[in-house]
Chain A
Amino acid sequence: MAIYHNAAKRALADGGLALGFGLHHLRSNAAPMLAKAGGHDHIFIDMEHGAFTMQEATQLCIAALPHGIAPIVRVCAGALDEATRLLDNGALGIVVPHVDTAARAQEVADAFHYPPQGTRSWGGPPAVFGYIAPHVAEAQAAINAEILTLVMIESPEGVANADAIAAVKGVDVLLVGSFDLTSSMGIAGQFKHPRTIEAWQTIANAARRHGKVLGIGGISDDEDCARAIGMGSRFITTGNDHSFMVNGSIAAAKRTREQVASVTK
């Protein structure tokens, strides 16, 4: 079988948007179907802040593949060993948070790619080939080319090193963690602050210079999103199961109260 295509990577390579559906609460294999029904390209399984087990995360990855929805997982900053187990069991992209230096970005890129590009170990039935893989050398080269490696910049040090991080071969996306970035700058949550905008622009310039993709995460209001997209942000998580449910249920309850009030007054 041919490798499952990484819809997010291909959309980004064409200069398009990759829209992600964040997962925090859901464990059902219906999740990728729901993401697709909502017009997304990938699911963003958050193991940094969500309580997913490895088994739960990889079941969602395997379920996403035949839908053409790219399974992308955020691991904890130090959990590169979890990242490669995810890649072994269906993930097509990994987000590593809190990458502050080019040396760390290089370690990440090395860990996720098979030799000669990196040092990833081969093992286990290859889910991304639907368990019918070609010769191991061919499979390793194809997987190296198909996965997405995303590093998060979310500290002043990371911003200062953005250009060097962007230069690392094998890093595809510079993803800005806007919440942690503004927190570490002493202006938590102030996404319209000039220093926030300046930091975003520095990272955007670094990405553009090295032909990498920019993602500005953590933001949700229209003005911030428009500014980020104007700066070139293309890897975008539209929200997650939590925000979709909370916002949807608030709107439904409000609408019902208004309907009742309009009938009973």
Chain B
Amino acid sequence: MPSFEVSLPDLRASGPVIQAFIGPSRELIATFGALSAASPTPVSALIDTGAASTVITPETARVLQLRTVGIIRVHTPTTVEPVLCRQFYVNINFTNEFAVEDVLAIEAPLTGQPIQCLIGRDVLSRGVLTYSGVDNLFRLTF
């Protein structure tokens, strides 16, 4: 099983952040061909067990020329009423050899932190997350 272990100097301060590439979904590439799809774009992604779904920024969606395939209602700590968000179909490439494919990510601006993606519980439901605070490392296994 593919596994990624990341050690950080201060895991508590930075959070479990991983470098990944967001690209068009396997289904889109299978239908239209790799040449017609944008190349995956690099992101800093925070693994967020508080996020029900994976999130990408509007800028990432724009760079990848993604087309909206859904709309979802979303609650956040600062919203009183649910807000409607776009949904895009993407792949998350963790390495050249391994991607979590066909992820229905929502689009939202990620304010206040230098990250462009939240890895949510939809992706985590496909694997195992190990977080070792005392060792300043975390591991994702799929």
Q: Does A pair with B?
A: no
Interface residues of A (CB under 8 A from B): none
Interface residues of B (CB under 8 A from A): none
